[in-house]
Structure 1
Amino acid sequence: MLKKVVFLSLAGPALLLALLLSPALAEDDSVAQDGTGQGNGELLDRVVALVNDDVITEQELASEVAMIKSQLRAQNTRIPADDVLKQQILDRMVLRHIQLQLAKKAHISVDDETLNRTLESIAQQNNLTLLAFRDVLEREGMQYTRFRENMRDEITINRLQKRQVNDRINITSQEVDAFLVNRALQTGTQYEYQLGHILISVPEAASPEAIANAREKAKKVVDELHAGADFAETAVAVSDGRQALEGGRLDWREASALPSLFADWVIGREIGAISDAIRSPSGFHIITLLDRRSNQPQLLVTQTHVRHILLRVDDPTRS
């Protein structure tokens, strides 16, 4: 039984057909079963999503759900209802498949040498040798080979995103010069900010009713946060942003590297402050200032570094 069909456009004429199948599929005539819901004593691994030529199976989804639950428990974050969590995770898995397909089409890959260096760096950051790090993963129930391939995928997707940003944005020499002048005129301590982010998305060409419903949902979330609801738990449960399963936590950034919607709000705020719902083309954003730290930048900045700052990579308002 078909539950939902979603078409998303890829680069070129290819289309994503994500078929999210209902649990009622277990009763479909095409699945041979006995009265216990099993066929010949064996549970079939059903397809829960098709992404072009790739499939996501029920076992893959269950494995991902188990891993995310383990991470949330380790962070002492309340785990949302199973149906909510599964939908969040399935959406992210579909997006990951799309990005990896685009990377393959663009001939983007990660060789073993680069992957090994990355894994060694992660181990060193945890004060471990690579062998000890592997043992820790195995004790935590994570297969090292799976972790390794997941990391390869993450690096691949990161390279894809950087290439797309560089292809899309052209920063002029005048913009670089203006940035350098502004930074040279600044005095005093600079700050980096860590924000929490919740997105209540609004589809393109949404009806006034859909926009009103999203606005009302965002307002309700803001009210719950002001009443004491945990931001990270709320993000996991309701956010449509790509960092939802990380509790909505964004990376450290200077104000100049934040989306302007966020930068305008964050300056001068106290740690723990919560914004009202902020409207953007992608929906309604709710942010909180998790932390702030001083960062006195060097005034002698190369144009390469300036261009990187001006790019504003991974803008959450586009999520």
Structure 2
Amino acid sequence: MVTKLISKRLATRCANLALLSALLLIAQTSTAEYQLLDRVVAIAEDDVVLASQVRNDMRQLKRTLAARGTELPPDKIIYEQVLERAIIDSLQLQRAYRSGLRISDQDLNDAMQRVAEQNRLTLPQFREALEQSGQSYLEAREQMRKEMLIRRVQQRGVMRGMNIADSEVENFLQSSEGQALLEPEFQLDHILLPLPEGATKQQRQRAESTMQNLAKLAADKLFAELASELEAAGARHAPLGWRRKADIPSLFGETVSGLQKGEVSEVVQSDSGLHLVKLIDQRGGIEGTLRETKVRHILITPNEIRDEQQARELAQEVAAKLAAGEDFAALARQYSDDPGSALRGGDLGWNAPGKMVPAFESVMDIMALEEVSPPFESPFGWHILQVIDRRETDFTRERAKERARLIIAEGKFEDELNNWLQKLRDESFVEIK
């Protein structure tokens, strides 16, 4: 039976390939010969890769490498790499489509808007610039849709299969990088206006007035940008760089703790003169009280037998049952596709900010206690959630663990992605012509 199914599948592919090949031939009007316009260079599951696609991608890659001043490898190497990338992209897109993943027009519009802004252009200007360079805006938009789909299917495939042990988190927190999470660092700029030994009261007052004027000038500038003003005032620029709190001179310790990013301190006096400190940046450090939310949810995911529209409709049906008074936990056990919470009636436990994906967290944060949300979409599918409780918690250590877990996941992602892509490639039907 299995052999028959495989034979039938291959026969179907061959028939489709023969049809496609026929369509890619055009008859010469003056002779009985045929001219080959394009050809299939690879079959990837239910899709094909055309020679024209590979040629176009090769040209684009060569232009990119040349613009970077990179020496071009032989065409054979470029061809093999581009062909393999086309195969992998095709397999990922097919996996995304079979899983019911879609990119909405709004998400796509937002992505194109961000690209335009990164190039300091409005969207109409970006479109015009593309067309002036010989590129089609619609083709660029469709390419963006494909790239977003690929990123989404990668996120779903890799993150779902990634396990990070508690011991990994603890080991990370004991490392120097982990310690930096718990202890903040401050990037400090500093100027000193020396005072003569035995300075009079009037000299001190004039010096303090000078420093206050410099503080006003530094409100939206770095001290380094005030070189002429500092020289005229007789002040010295002496940046402190990145410092942990314990490494900050005690003279400035309390002053720095009260500064916001970009803010200049009040004038600080010492035996050596008058000082101003500016907080340029801050990194690391996790402390304080945070609001945790206890929440439960029902997840309906698109899959190979349920497309995006059917998943949304099922989520709406479940929402209607909840509105009619049916039990949330019972419906979660019956319908939810989240294996980690379904058996617990959808219970996700207590969650700190940043633990959930933004699409989920933004809805969770605005829901009142016991309120049931309407169905909404995240990269994982369609959710219905209910906030059970909220509490304020000293979350220094737990927040550090969550942040550490994210950093570890980011560090593992590339390796895990390569493994996932290799598995996808190995499990798929691929034939290079």
User: What's the TM-score, normalizing by structure 1?
Assistant: 0.50
Please state which structure has a larger fraction of its residues in helix: 2
Provide TM-score, normalisation by structure 2: 0.38
Between Structure 1 and Structure 2, whose CA radius of gyration is higher?
2
Larger RCO (CA under 8 A, 6+ residues apart) = 2
